[in-house]
A and B are shown apart, each in its own frame.
Chain A
Amino acid sequence: MSAGSNTPDWAALPEAIAPPQANGELLFDAPWQGRAFGMVHSLVDAGQFSWDEFRDQLIIALEQGAVGAERYYECFLQALEMTLVGRELVGQELVDARTAEFAARPHGHDH
């Protein structure tokens, strides 16, 4: 029942795949979770992929992950990646390489 393919309608997601929230507000346990949410929202808004495409990947990621609410955003990020890779917008190797590159940064880096 999405309100249009380029409108993120977080409120209409079934409970099983909805972002963790309390009293109408989203809960982010770590800053990266908010970034992941913001990325998906912005990309759907900009029409890079549709709301339905992402939602389908989210369902798959959450099913495969079969994890509790505390790991919701891991699956969420996975769903974003799968949407981008599936659309050939971004290559998996590039994401892996960039992640490795960031992991190798000297700890406490700030230029």
Chain B
Amino acid sequence: MTEPHDHDHSHSHSHEPLDPVALRAEALESILIERGWLKSAQVDDVIARYNDRVGPMNGARVVARAWRDAQFREHLLADGTDAICSFGFDGAQVEKLVVVENTDKVHNMVVCTLCSCYPWAVLGLPPKWYKEPEYRSRAVREPRALLGDLGVQLNSEIEVRVWDSSAEVRYMVLPQPPAGALPEDEQELAELVSRDSMIGVALL
């Protein structure tokens, strides 16, 4: 095999031990690049996207904006998919996003009873418990008791609404802001928003 192939020096391998699996991965990538099915930069981009740009922080930014900007909040609740377009999240266009708002009267929580559909464009990958049968069944059967076990004590007058995600529609909760003075800066505000609060299993 003497034909020249792309030597890609953008990722260093020269000082790593010769892990046979790493070599195999590298071999496969070099073949795919040669065939023109893949570009090294595409792979870099996917890794960067999942490392830096997909995760609960995306949803937190959306929530922070909604808290500060009433017009955006209305847009978000009316058409989540459209409202988050301006953030340019990867994968955001794939499914319909519906955002449901927690108020003094209503608490929302999200589940996927069938499998583990999850709004990954805004929340990243789902936590392990989200996929477990216990959460999936109790969320429907006894949401209030489940929330209690997770530390969310709700006044009996507060209505609990459970939203069942599907491949087509993904839900995200717009939590109520924490009590007290909030930071002016949107980024700092976003840091107050936990992933679990956007699934509806935590309060802020």
The answer, yes or no, to whether A86 is at the interface (CB within 8 Å) is no
- Please name all residues of chain B whose beta carbon is closer than 8 Å to the beta carbon of A31 when the two chains form the complex: 11, 13, 16, 22
Q: How far is the CA of A108 from the CA of B166 in the complex (A)?
A: 50
Stretch of B121-129, B139-147, B152-160, B181-189 at the chain-chain interface = B121-129
Q: In the complex, what's the smallest C-beta–C-beta distance from B20 to chain A, in angstroms? A: 7
Shortest CB distance A84–B (Å): 8
Contacts of B35 in A (CB 8 A): 89-90
Closest CB in chain A relative to B91 CB, distance in Å? 8
**A contacts with B, residue count (CB < 8 A):** 56
Give A1-49 interface residues, CB cut-off 8 Å to B.
1-4, 7, 9-15, 18-19, 21, 23-26, 28, 30-39, 41-43, 46, 48
Asked if A99 and B128 make an inter-chain contact with CB atoms under 8 angstroms apart, the answer reads: no
A80 nearest CB across to chain B (Å) = 7
Interchain CB contact (< 8 A) of A39 among B32, B116, B127, B167: B32
Determine if B29 is an interface residue (Cβ-Cβ < 8 Å): yes
Residues 50-64 of A contacting B (Cβ, < 8 Å): none
B28: Cβ under 8 A from any A Cβ? yes
Asked if B32 contacts A43 (CB within 8 A), the reply is yes
B37 with A46: CB separation less than 8 A = yes
A12 in contact with B116 given A32-B22, A38-B44 (CB within 8 Å): yes
A-B contacts besides A31-B11, A103-B18, 19 pairs, CB < 8 Å: A9-B167, A12-B115, A12-B116, A21-B125, A23-B56, A23-B195, A24-B55, A24-B126, A31-B22, A35-B29, A39-B43, A46-B38, A89-B37, A90-B32, A95-B31, A97-B1, A99-B27, A108-B14, A109-B14
